[in-house]
Structure 1
Amino acid sequence: MENDHTTMLFLIMGGGTLLLATEVRAVTRSLVGHLELQLFLLEMLATFQLCACFGMLHPLAQLENHTQLYLGHLYSFLTMHFLLTLSESISNPTCILLDILQKGISMKQGGLKIVAQFIGAFLAKLYQNAVWFVGISNLFPHPQECSNPLKTYFLKALCTELVTSITFQFTVLESQSQEIRVRANVLSLTITSLVYAGGHLTGAIFNPALAFSLHISCFAEPEKFWNYLLVYWVAPCIGSVLVFLVWDEILPLLHRQR
C-alpha cells in the first residue's frame, strides 16, 4: 500500500512538472519575439521538462517488483513529452551533433542548442534538489550522493551506452517522415525498450544532458569523473558519428552500387 501511495505521489509530481513546463513554454512563445532567443529558451525548457520529469519517475525503478509499472509510466510520460515538444526540440545533445554533421544546422545553432540543453538539465537538477529538501519522499537520492548507476564493468557499460545511442538515433532518422503523434509513440517505445534491455547495466540513458542532470554528483567525484564522462558523454557522441557515417555515407554508396 505504501508503494502504491509513493507511485501516485511521483506521478502527480511528474504530471505537475509537465504542466508547469508546458505553460512556461507557451508564455515564452507569446512574449519572446527574438527568434534565436525564443528557440534557445524553448530548447532549454523542453530539456528541463524531460530531465525533471524523468527525475521524478526514476525513483520508481528502485521499488521492488515495480519494473513493469515504471516502464509503463515512462512510456506514457515520454509520449506526452514528445507530443508537446518534438516539433521544437529532441532534448538530446547527440541528436544535435548528428544534425550538425549532416549540415542540417550550423555549428553556431547547434552549439547554442547544446548549451541550452545543459542549462535546462542543470535547472532540472536544482528543481529535483528542491523537491528533496521539502522531504516529500525518502526515495529521492540525496543531492550530494552518487547513486552509482554503473552496475557493470567499464567496457560493457561503454558498449551499452554506445549501442543504445546508435539504436535511438537510427530510430530518430527513420521516423522523420512520420506525423508527430506516430513518431512520438515510436520514439517513446524505442526508449522504453532500450531502458528495459540496458537499464540494469547503466540506466540506458544515451543522453549526455539527462545523464548530467541525473548523476551530476557522480561526475563531481574525481575518481569517477573519467569513467562517467566516457560512458555517458563520449560513447553516445561516438554513436552520432557512426550513425552519420552509415546513414549519409555507407548506405547511399551501397544504394548507388545496386
Structure 2
Amino acid sequence: MLQEVLKALGERACTSPSQTALIRENVSEEEALISSEQNSELQPLHRGGGNLQLAHFRTHPRESAPPTESCRGSSQRSGPGAVASDRASRGRMAGEGAAGRAEWAAEKADVTVSLALLSVVVLLSDALRRMLARVLAHSGLEVHAAEFVSTLQLCCCTHELRVLSDVGKIERRLAHTLTYVAAVVHGLTFKGAVGNPACTLVHTYRQRLVPGAALWEIACQFAAAAAARALMPLAWSLGMSSLHVRHRAREFQCTSPVDSPLIATAVETACACAVQTAITQTRSLEEKYRVHAVAAVVTTAVYAGGPSTGAVFNPALAFSTQFRCEGRSLPEYCLVYWLGPVLGMLGSVLLCDWLEGWRLVRRR
C-alpha cells in the first residue's frame, strides 16, 4: 500500500525520469525493511524469508507508470537550454531597465540645467532692469530700457524652452507646464513692459503711445530679439548639458513647423486674438491674479497652435526664434509671424470695442 501511495504522489509531482527511478529505489528499500521486520516478528525461525523477499524486490522492482505529458514538458523545459534562455531573457530585461533609468537620469539632468539657465536669465534681467531704471530715471529712456531688457528675457527663455522641446524631446505635458510658469514669471517681472510689437501697435491705436514713441519701442524690441538670437548660441556652446552638446553638434539648426503658410497665418491670428482678448478682459483683476489668467490662455494657445506654427504670436519673438529655421522663405515668415499676430490683436481690440459699445447702447 505504501508503494501505491508513493507511486501516486510521484505521478502527481511532475518529476523527471531520473528522480522517479531514485524514488522507486528508496520505496523498494523501505518496503523490504518493513516486510523483514514483520517476518521476524511472526516467523522468528524463518528469518531468511525477509532476506529473500528483499533480494527478490531488489532484483525485480515494480515498474512505475511513465511520466505524463506535463511531466515530460516540465523536464524538457528544465533542461540546460531553457535555463540559458531564461537567463538571457532576464539579462535583456535588466539591460532595458538600466538603459531606461540612464535615459531618465540624463533627461532629468538636462531639464535641471535648463531650469538653472532660465533662472539665471530671469535674475540677471531683473537686476539689469532695476539698475537701468535707477540710472536712467527722469531721462525718458527708462521705458525703452525696460522694453529692451524684458524682450531680451522673453526671447532667451523661449530659445531655451524650444531647445528642450525640439532637441530634448521632453514630454508635452512638462513643456506646457514650463510654458505656463515662464508666462507667469514674465508677467510678474516685466514691470509694465509688453515685449511685443503687436501690443505696442494696440497701445498706439488706443492712443496710449504717440507714433514716435511706439517706433522707438518697437526698435528696442527687435534689437533685443537680435541680441538674444546672438547670445543664446554662446551659452549653448559652453556645453553645460548633453542637450546643449547635441544642439551644438547640429550647429544650432532648427526646422520650421509651418506646412501651409495660409493655415499657419490663420493659426497665429487666432492665437493672438485669444491672448489679446484675455489681456483686455482681465484689466479689472489684480495683477497677481491677472498674470495667471493670461498665462493659462497663453498655455492653451501654445497647446492648440504649437504643432502648426510654434504658437509665437509675437513678431519680435518670431524674428529671434523662427526666422533662422530652415524650411520657409523670408516673405512666408513675415506673412505668418508678423501679419498674423498684428491682424489677430487688432481684430481682438476692434471686437472688444464693438462689444463694449453695444453693451452701452443696451443699457441706455
Please give the TM-score of this superposition, normalised by the length of structure 1: 0.91
How far the C-alpha of 1:154 sits from its partner, in A, is 1.8
Q: Which residue, out of 91, 97, 116, partners 1:12?
A: 116
After superposition, what is the alpha-carbon deviation per residue over 1:74-127, rounded to whole angstroms, capped at 9, x for unaligned? 211221111111x32121111111111111211112111111111111111111
Equivalence for 1:114: 218
Q: 2:225 touches 2:320 (CA, 8 Å); kept in 1?
A: yes
* Pairs within 5 Å for 1:30-179: 30-62=134-166, 63-64=168-169, 66-85=171-190, 87-136=191-240, 137-140=244-247, 145-150=253-258, 152-179=259-286
- DSSP-derived class of the 1:172 partner: helix
Query: Distance between the aligned counterparts of 1:140 and 1:7, measured in 2?
Result: 14
Query: Distance between the aligned counterparts of 2:206 and 2:329, measured in 1?
Result: 33
CA gap of 1:65–1:130, structure 2 versus 1, over 3 A, is closer
After superposition, what is the alpha-carbon deviation per residue over 1:26-76, rounded to whole angstroms, capped at 9, x for unaligned? 111111134421111111000101111111122222244511111111211
Structure 2 residue identity aligned to 1:169: Q
Query: Distance between the aligned counterparts of 1:90 and 1:186, measured in 2?
Result: 16
Query: Distance between the aligned counterparts of 2:219 and 2:286, measured in 1?
Result: 28
Query: Distance between the aligned counterparts of 1:81 and 1:52, measured in 2?
Result: 12
Higher mean alpha-carbon deviation, 121-130 vs 226-235, is at 121-130
Q: 1:101 touches 1:244 (CA, 8 Å); kept in 2?
A: no
Query: Distance between the aligned counterparts of 2:142 and 2:110, measured in 1?
Result: 37
- DSSP-derived class of the 2:237 partner: helix
Equivalence for 2:317: 210
Identity among equivalent positions (%) equals 26
Aligned length: 253
CA gap of 1:139–1:212, structure 2 versus 1, over 3 A, is farther
Query: Distance between the aligned counterparts of 2:206 and 2:341, measured in 1?
Result: 17
Query: Distance between the aligned counterparts of 1:196 and 1:178, measured in 2?
Result: 25
Query: Distance between the aligned counterparts of 2:179 and 2:282, measured in 1?
Result: 20
Query: Distance between the aligned counterparts of 1:38 and 1:139, measured in 2?
Result: 39
Higher relative contact order (CA 8 A, sep 6+): 1
Q: Which residue, out of 303, 306, 316, partners 1:196?
A: 303
Query: Distance between the aligned counterparts of 2:361 and 2:127, measured in 1?
Result: 51
Query: Distance between the aligned counterparts of 1:209 and 1:170, measured in 2?
Result: 20
Structure 1 residue identity aligned to 2:264: A
Equivalence for 1:241: 346
How far the C-alpha of 1:128 sits from its partner, in A, is 0.7
Gaps of 5+ in 1: none
- DSSP-derived class of the 2:324 partner: helix
CA gap of 1:65–1:73, structure 2 versus 1, over 3 A, is closer
CA gap of 1:21–1:65, structure 2 versus 1, over 3 A, is closer
Equivalence for 1:229: 334
Query: Distance between the aligned counterparts of 1:176 and 1:124, measured in 2?
Result: 30
CA gap of 1:135–1:174, structure 2 versus 1, over 3 A, is same
Structure 1 residue identity aligned to 2:226: F
Please give the TM-score of this superposition, normalised by the length of structure 2: 0.66
- After the TM superposition, list the runs of 4 or more consecutive aligned residues in structure 1 that deviate by more than 4 angstroms: 141-144
How far the C-alpha of 1:237 sits from its partner, in A, is 0.8
Structure 1 residue identity aligned to 2:270: V
- DSSP-derived class of the 2:140 partner: helix
Equivalence for 2:59: none
Query: Distance between the aligned counterparts of 1:21 and 1:234, measured in 2?
Result: 29
Q: CA RMSD in A?
A: 1.9
Gaps of 5+ in 2: 1-104
Query: Distance between the aligned counterparts of 1:149 and 1:231, measured in 2?
Result: 11
